[in-house]
Amino acid sequence: MTNTIGVLVMSYGTPENMESVEAYYTHIRRGRPPEPEQLKELTDRYEAIVGGVFPLRENTDNQVKALQETLNRDERGTDVEFRCYQGLKHAYPFIEDGVEQMAKDGIQTAIGIVLAPHFSTMSVGSYIKRAREKAEEMGVHMSFIESYHLHPKLIQALSTRVSAKLDAFEEAGAKRGDVKVLFSAHSLPARIVEMGDPYPQQLLETSEVIASRVGITNWQFTWQSAGRTAEPWLGPDILDTLQELSREQVEDVLVAPIGFVSDHLEVLYDLDIEAKSIAKEIDMRLMRIDSLNSDPLYMETLSDVIISRWQQGS
């Protein structure tokens, strides 16, 4: 008899349509509705990216489907079937809905993974906490993958993207070694550093390994997309970094947002619109690497870590 293992694939989530932006934002703010101007600012950002369509939803759907196919490839030669369920942090189907659906389908054992390679108690840790609580309530035995930021296939996929864009700079007349590569990730409140959170260190490790593999020394790490709250967030922010680089006469910059795996607001707006418009003002050429989305190497990264967790007895 085939043994079915549930896989809870967790991702940030995005509104279903313009009407649900307020509910989404309220959920991110832990139940506090945004002020009208905050809501307008966010709605405007969504409208700016693709006229009100939410690419993260389709990308997550595609990733979950592709992961299920990758996990169940014939050549694996096991009698286990992996069944993927989606669980979103801030939108329907929520993390709890995914766990509940697994229980309804009779799944007894499951593995949880987040579509974000680096662990922080405030990001991946909070997804895991919610899933674990619901799994305990529903009687599903679950284990979790906390990070996979140095997996060789992830590094390969990201390195290939960095190399390809450095080629594009060369074709456009730049000298490869003069292009400043900026590795970036979503900022978090600065207090995570005192908490001993591994997030900044894991991001630096991913950056260092890619830089060494691609053979670049002209790089640095910077933060992006800091939240709109009063407390201090990790910096420097990419917009300040661009200004600083301009003062150092840097003309060509390649952004590699290694903390993200999908095309979504934080990439398509914060980098492609906001950062690019600053770059234009300061006469800087700015490119960014393509997002992973459903790249087979990314799907294999996820599949490898899930299968090895299962082989260890989940």
DSSP for residue 91? S
Amino acid at 155: I
CB of 262 to ligand FEC, least distance (A): 7
- Read off φ and ψ for residue 270, nearest 5 degrees: -60, -35
Helices (H), 18-71: 21-28, 36-50, 55-71
**Identity of the residue, 82 or 233, whose beta carbon is nearer to ligand FEC in the bound complex:** 233
**Identity of the residue, 107 or 123, whose beta carbon is nearer to ligand FEC in the bound complex:** 123
Which helix (H) or strand (E) segment holds residue 18: the answer is none
Rounded Cα distance, 310 and 9, in Å = 15
**Which residues contact ligand FEC by CB under 6 A?**
12, 14, 25, 28, 42, 54, 56, 116, 122-123, 186, 188, 227-228, 259, 264-266
CB of 31 to ligand FEC, least distance (A): 11
CB of 233 to ligand FEC, least distance (A): 8
**Identity of the residue, 62 or 109, whose beta carbon is nearer to ligand FEC in the bound complex:** 62
Rounded Cα distance, 63 and 298, in Å = 9
CB of 259 to ligand FEC, least distance (A): 6
Amino acid at 151: H
First to last CA, the chain: 19
DSSP for residue 76? G
Contact at 8 Å (CB) between 70 and 300?
yes
**Identity of the residue, 46 or 82, whose beta carbon is nearer to ligand FEC in the bound complex:** 46
**Identity of the residue, 116 or 210, whose beta carbon is nearer to ligand FEC in the bound complex:** 116
CB of 41 to ligand FEC, least distance (A): 8
CB of 63 to ligand FEC, least distance (A): 12
**Identity of the residue, 54 or 148, whose beta carbon is nearer to ligand FEC in the bound complex:** 54
